[in-house]
Amino acid sequence: MRAARAARALQSKEDYNQAITFYTQAIDLDPTVAAYYGNRSFAYLRTECFGYALADANKALEIDPKYIKAYYRRASSYMALGKFKLALKDFETVTKVHPSDKDAKAKYTECNKIVKRIAFEKAIAVDDHKSVLDSIDIETMAIDDDYDGPKLEDGVVTLQFVKDLLKTFKEQKKLHRKYAYQILLRVREIFMKQPSLVDITIPDGKKFTVCGDIHGQYYDLLNIFELNGIPSESNPYLFNGDFVDRGSFSVECILVLFSFKVLYPDHFYMARGNHESATMNQMYGFEGEVKSKYPLTITFTAQMADLFTEVFNWLPLAHCINNKILVMHGGLFRDDNVTLDDIRKVDRHRQPPEEGVMCELLWSDPQPQCGRSQSKRGVGTQFGPDVTKRFLQKNKLDYIIRSHEVKNDGYEVSHDGKCITVFSAPNYW
Helices 250-263 & 177-192, crossing angle to 10 degrees? 60
For residue 60, which phi and psi values (nearest 5 degrees)? Answer: -60, -40
For β-strands 318-321 and 197-200, DSSP reports them as parallel
Residue pair 251/161 in contact (Cβ under 8 Å)? The answer is no
Residue pair 395/340 in contact (Cβ under 8 Å)? The answer is yes
Residue pair 232/262 in contact (Cβ under 8 Å)? The answer is no
Strand-pairing partners, residue 148, are none
Listed residue (87, 119, 91, 93) closest to 106, CA to CA: 91
Burial letters 23-40, b for 16+ CB under 10 A, else e: bebbbeeeeebbbbbbbb
Cα distances from 406 to residues 23, 91, 369, in angstroms, run 20, 29, 19
> CA angle at residue 268 from 265 to 269, to 5 degrees?
100
Query: What positions carry a catalytic annotation?
Result: 275
Classified as helix, coil or strand, 77 is helix
Strand-pairing partners, residue 414, are 419
For residue 42, which phi and psi values (nearest 5 degrees)? Answer: -60, -45
DSSP structure class, residue 157: -
